[in-house]
Amino acid sequence: MKKENFYITTPIYYVNDKPHIGHAYTTILADVLARYHRLINVPTWFLTGTDEHGQKVQRAAEAAGMSPKQQADETVVRFRELWQKLEITNDDFIRTTEPRHQEVVRKILQDLYDRDEIYRAEFEGWYCVTCERFYTEKDLVDGNCPEPGCGRPVERITEPNYFFRMSKYQQWLIDYIEANPKFIQPDFRRNETLGFLRKELTDLCISRPKSRMGWGIELPFDADFVTYVWFDALVNYISAAGYLSDDDRFNSLWPASYHLIGKDILTTHTVYWPTMLKAMNVPMPETIFAHGWWLIGRDKMSKTAGNVVNPMEFVDKHGVDPFRYFLITEMSLGQDASFTEEAFIRRYNTDLANDLGNMLSRVTKLIGSYFDGKIPAPQEEGEAEAKLRDTTLKAAEELVASVDRMRPDQGLNGMAAVVREANRYMEVRQPWTLAKSDDTRADAGMVLYYAAEALRIVSGMLYPVMPGKMTELRRALGLPDGDPVFADLHEWGRLEPGTPIQKMKILFPRIQVPKVKEAAPEEEKAKPKQKEAPVGIVQIEYADFAKLSLRTARVLEAEKVEGADKLLRLQIDLGDEQRQIVAGIALHYEPDALVGMNIVVVANLKPACIRKIESNGMLLAATSGDQLRLITVDGDMPLGSSVG
């Protein structure tokens, strides 16, 4: 049964170093989702925090010449400061060194030990300090840690330890995942976990001897050991919610609606955590959602590579709201995304400075000049007005739906399309010309009212992503401060004529990009000798090629066409519009692998009907024999960019 509340968590972050963009993204995403649910009046609880035990923290403390607790106390401040700067609205912040958490961990351990879910045995194997995990010889990849994104050297360890009987729940977990398709998302991550579970599942080592690593929660049944970091850390999701301390609160919050995680901790959250909960007789969380990595170009960010983005510095340079907007719009949840300052500037200048900010400036300036600085009254709407109204209200509905299906990037792109449509509406209707004549000034008022009304709805829908800037925008339209009223965002005409607008500075000042000096052309060049066309190749004039409209597009959705082995139905975003195309690439690409991919399409191809499905365009691909690869864009370009 669906709960009446929304409980969302981030992973708790290690305090062995300062936060980076991966931490910032997960937490901003959780904040945006929490804010949207509060906007629709769903009781919401948002938890984040820090993981402060384990060998990584101990070694970081030793390197800094301080105790592990001092290391944790100093580093946790950096996370709290960043969350404040990023305008994160978490309801709770848990530290695993807090008594409220440690007490619950000890109670759980004692209960499982008493019921023979935990036993002592000798362990011999390979240990990765970074991942805090043991591996067998066959698990290793080239002698190193097998975890994706790690690959670091491992240490050989032989010692007594305590183990959780995780293997006894292997078949139960397989059955549960198969019976509950929403439990692990996206779908391909569910398949990844099921693939892991098709192999023999071993029991989980849950302890460390104090003689080797003493920084952790002491086992209640053996004072010579501390608990394994994952068995400690994962419990935060229920200890913070009141498990074993406040039954009423726990029952009102649990199960969690979403555990947001990075794909690098998929196994611990989709194998270790469910089996632990099963052993504790605690219900499963509703969904564990694994997002992708932020890359620099094609490389994963890492301290070793020296390419980690410091979110604190980036926000100081460009502002918090644009940073939040970029992260949410740029990543399709589940897929990796590329972070570059150039990509940020392009999206900022296009979506925010050129479109949204410029729209607000034009509307408020014209209202100030021709209508005494007060919202004009609308007249009887025409076809253009009806189109803008319908486009805006439809995009608002789709944004809510996109949040529900964990695709906020799609919903925000729809809002950006509304702003572009409103700008086109202004260009066609030209209120600056209409306002100059007494005979047509009322028509100018109509145009400005509709443009302002579109801005009202857009600002409310973008409020969870950019609360500061959208408060400024709404203030400029004479709207009250505070959270928008959600019901008003689905009704047209809520702006009161006669409401005074406010003068304001430019909402999103354009970021100036230094021009690269072009090399001087050579004075003379030898005219190249024209080659004859190869046999069988038809030469065309440039004018023929220019008839093609080749444009960049992003794949939003992909699914197989029923009854057709080779066909996929794709929903693509061309920047100013979304389309459906049918492509014969199903033998070469899984649908999930296409989502988020930037491709090249022929945009002016006449629509065709394939298997009774309309296809508006054609994607480009290279073929050789049985091989096929899509033509993609190298680097970040605005959607809809011309190719040629």
Sign of CA dihedral 262, 266, 272, 277: positive
Q: What is the pLDDT of residue 535?
A: 52
Residue 283 one-letter amino acid: P
- Rounded CA-CA distance 17/260 in Å is 21
What are the residue boundaries of the structural domains of the chain, listed by start? 340-490, 542-643
How far from chain centre, in Å, is Cα 28?
Answer: 8
Write down the CATH number for the domain with range 340-490.
Answer: 1.10.730.10
DSSP 351: I
Taking Cα atoms as reference points, which of 382, 367, 301, 394 lies closest to residue 339? 301
Q: What is the pLDDT of residue 305?
A: 56
Tens of pLDDT, residue by residue over 302-344, are: 655 566 678 889 999 999 999 999 999 999 988 888 888 999 9
- Rounded CA-CA distance 322/330 in Å is 12
Residues contacting 348, CB < 8 A, separation 6+: 318, 322, 325, 326, 508, 511
Q: What is the pLDDT of residue 523?
A: 45
DSSP string, 56-124: HHHHHHHHHTS-HHHHHHHHHHHHHHHHHHTT---SEEEETTSHHHHHHHHHHHHHHHHTTSEEEEEEE
- Rounded CA-CA distance 587/510 in Å is 45
- Rounded CA-CA distance 202/163 in Å is 10
* Residue 83 and residue 46 in contact, taking contact as beta carbons nearer than 8 Å: no
Tens of pLDDT, residue by residue over 123-168, are: 888 888 777 777 878 788 888 998 877 888 998 888 899 999 999 9
Give the residues across from 208 on adjacent strands: 226
Q: Residue 119 — φ and ψ, nearest 5°?
A: -140, 165
Taking Cα atoms as reference points, which of 68, 82, 64, 81 lies closest to residue 15? 68
Question: Tokens 């191809």 map to which residue?
Answer: 605
* Residue 23 and residue 13 in contact, taking contact as beta carbons nearer than 8 Å: yes
Token digits of residue 574: 């061309």
Residue 102 one-letter amino acid: Q
DSSP 298: T
DSSP 18: -
* Residue 13 and residue 51 in contact, taking contact as beta carbons nearer than 8 Å: yes
DSSP 282: -
Q: Is 158 exposed, middle or buried (0-12, 13-18, 19+ CB in 10 A)?
A: exposed
H-only helix segments in 152-214: 170-179, 187-197
Q: Residue 374 — φ and ψ, nearest 5°?
A: -125, 145
Q: Residue 154 — φ and ψ, nearest 5°?
A: -115, 165
Token digits of residue 240: 């913070």
- Rounded CA-CA distance 607/603 in Å is 10
What's the Cα-to-Cα distance from 515 to each of 55, 353, 512, 518, rounded to whole Å?
Answer: 49, 19, 9, 9
Helices (H) and strands (E) in the chain, counts: 22, 27
- Rounded CA-CA distance 39/484 in Å is 7
Residues of the chain with pLDDT under 70: 1-3, 297-308, 514-539, 541-544, 546, 576, 592-593, 596, 625, 634-637
Residue 379 one-letter amino acid: Q
Q: How many residues does the chain have?
A: 644
DSSP string, 402-421: HHHTT-HHHHHHHHHHHHHH
- Rounded CA-CA distance 216/209 in Å is 10
- Quick one: which H or E segment has residue 229? helix 229-233
Query: What b/e string do you get for 175-208 counting C-beta neighbours within 10 Å, with b at 16 or more?
Result: eebeeeeebbbbebbbebbeeebeeebebbbbbb
- Tell me the CATH number of domain 542-643, given options 3.30.420.40, 3.40.720.10, 3.40.470.10, 2.40.50.140: 2.40.50.140
Q: What is the pLDDT of residue 623?
A: 84
Tens of pLDDT, residue by residue over 446-496, are: 999 999 999 999 999 999 999 999 999 999 999 999 999 999 999 999 999
